[in-house]
Structure 1
Amino acid sequence: MGIAPTASPREIKSAYRRAARLTHPDHGGDAQDFARATLAYETLIDPDARTRYDRSYGTESSYLRGGAPAPGAHATEPAHPPGAGGSMRFGTGGARPSATDATIYLPGLEEPGAIDRATSIRQVHGEPRKRGIFGAQARLARENRSVQLLSRQVLTALPSTRLVNGLHAPGGGYIDHALLGGYRLALVHSMLLPRGVYRWDGSTLLRDGKHIDPPRLGPVVHQMQRLFPELNVTGWTVILSPDGNLHEPVIDYARGAEPGPMNVLNVVNAVNLVREMKMFLGTGPTPHVVDRTILARLIGGMY
């Protein structure tokens, strides 16, 4: 209905009246469009239904745009921003866009969008929060360290990248951090482990023969890929050291388990997370684009 995620009940009713006038079959509209507008109104005007819709990241719109890929598949990223027109067709004569190019907003900041101008421009959204009755101070401290690391080391180098913290995971659970750069999305969780040498074989972290299971990000990556088929989604677990040394702990990789965008789940230390995020988010086809519709859906999924 063309309204912001923060729209009031009054704004929702007003938007529905406009949509109904345009789509009602008695006024020359399409019956299917009228039914969709009515469903949107009924969903958004009911507080419980609206909360469920927000936590699902507005899945209806993504499926109506063409469905979802098979589990584990990565999206084919657009060579130019969707709907941008011929002047934005990169790779056919013009120079490839850089992550440091001037940010392009789709739709433009002067055009109506699902989020306002100030929200679109802001690089960091949300913050680590308590979950349930008891707040785990150690977890909150660890997540805040991750936010500081990403803000200082990644966002300063990638001005068009947006960091969204504290998301509901589809199907239950949480996503600590999500980095949106162009049409690439990195989901980031963290662990705090003692200094030393660890080995990552692609599924299990090992130290002195002891198995350490990282957060199970694989299913969440698959679910988010289904909900955002226009994005290339990957998962990352960063291992933080107690003393803040970015180079610790040291992670040794088994053959085929090295970090990279083709892996559903990557495990890295802090310094390698920074390097990999710059590579993954900064080298896409359009790393200087902020899709305001996608950003709005992510913000709507914050808890």
Structure 2
Amino acid sequence: MTPPAKTLYQVLGVTPSATAEQIRSAYRRAARETHPDHGGSSESFHQVSEAYQVLSNADQRAAYDRRLGRASSAGSPAGSSPLRPEPARGAPGPGRPAANPDFGKPPVFEPDFSPQHPPVVPLSVLGRQVNGQPERPGLFKRIGSSAGARFDAENLTIGLLSNSLLPDYPAGRLVNSLRVPDTGPRGGALEIGHVLLGGYRMAVIDSLMSSPGAYYWDGVALRHRGHPVGSLRLADAVRTLQDRFPHINVCGWLVLHSPNGNPFEPIIDSPPDLPEAAPIDVVNPGTLARDLRRFFSTGPRPNTVLLPALGALIDASAQ
């Protein structure tokens, strides 16, 4: 006899009397545990996402509770249940391997929209792969500071991604020049050069112009000729965005551009035991393009554009 399907509350591990905050906390925990990138399965991850989509909306939750009450009174046939929403389009069924859509397929927008239910992102923005641009420093700010070099480096990164990755990745959405509040103990505002969103993955990228000579990255500190290189608080940005988007796998890259334009300079040395899955890496442009292609093409449902996440990133953009 097949056991009945779980209720949406059971999927998130809460009781029907849970508060909105308890549901949100349970979702964050369950999303991390079931995400395919963290050892979970696509089926479980989608069940968690579907449960939260219903229970986080007051009207949908009330309607679901009414159905739940009726089903509890009348009972339901074994192996079926009216308590769960229909599986999301394209979601893998039980016993089947998770389907990973082709990296180069046209984008699928979630949630779906119609004239009666417009998207959270303006229609004029939906087809745009690049949003925002680096803030050009004023003349006096540019002279004698790193602001000008960072502006040049950020434009190089935008050009790199626009030419080497986005044409092959229609669902990729690049948002530039973001400013978000740091949720950690340091506080203040985090200035983030670029965020690339695709499927259920997000790359946080900062850019610098390099100096001649090799760099050394040990996973915590970056050094050039034995001297520490200033931090752009990239680790804080990755942590903050991961907290904000728990259902998305967030990783960070610092890309160092060589003044001579060679995409495989500078050389960045690292210890042999540096974890390959570390949340932050320091790379040259050639390595960045390769890493990002692998990162997004191997993720779950890479041709999905998550509109709520994209809208939040665009809202945080300075442009």
Pairwise same-fold verdict (TM > 0.5): yes
The CA RMSD measured in Å over matched residues stands at: 3.2
Q: For 1:7-156, list aligned pairs within 5 A.
A: 64=24, 66=26, 68=28, 76-77=35-36, 79=42, 82-83=49-50, 85-90=87-92, 92=96, 95-110=99-114, 111-130=117-136, 134=141, 136-156=147-167
How many percent identity over aligned positions? 33
Alignment of structure 1 residues 278-297 onto 2, 5 Å: 278-297=293-312
Q: How far, CA to CA, are the matches of 1:69 and 1:175 in structure 2?
A: 26
> Structure 2: any 5+ residue segments left out of the alignment?
1-18, 51-85, 183-188
Aligned counterparts of 1:182 and 1:253: Cα–Cα separation in 2: 30
For the pair shown, the structure with the greater C-alpha radius of gyration is: 2
Please give the secondary structure, in 1, of the residue aligned with 2:165: helix
Deviation at 1:87, TM superposition (A): 3.7
The correspondence for 1:165, drawn from 167, 171, 176, is 176
Task: For 1:220 and 1:299, locate their aligned partners in 2 and report how far apart those are by CA, in whole Å.
Answer: 16
- Residue 64 (structure 1) shift: 3.5
Q: 1:75 to 1:226 in 2, by over 3 A?
A: farther
Matched length? 242
TM-score, scaled to structure 1: 0.70
Amino acid at match of 2:87: G
1:76 partner amino acid: H
Q: What's the secondary structure of 1:114's corresponding residue? A: coil
The Cα shift of 1:65 comes to 7.2
Partner of 2:14: none
Deviations 1:236-275 (A, max 9, x none): 10011011110100112212336x4x31221111100000
Q: Alpha-carbon deviation of 1:184?
A: 0.5
Which TM-score applies when normalising by structure 2? 0.67
| TM-aligned CA deviation for residue 292 of structure 1 | 1.1
Relative contact order (C-alpha < 8 Å, sep 6+): which is higher?
1
Task: Note the C-alpha offset of 1:100.
Answer: 1.0
Mark the runs of 5 or more structure 1 residues left unpaired by the alignment.
1-32, 37-59
Per-residue Cα deviation, 1:15-67 (whole angstroms, up to 9, x for no partner): xxxxxxxxxxxxxxxxxx9xx9xxxxxxxxxxxxxxxxxxxxxxx9xx84745
Moved more, 280-289 or 131-140: 131-140
Moved more, 266-275 or 85-94: 85-94
User: Where do residues 259-298 of structure 1 align in structure 2 (5 Å cutoff)?
Assistant: 260=276, 262-298=277-313
CA distance in 1, matches of 2:35, 2:157: 29
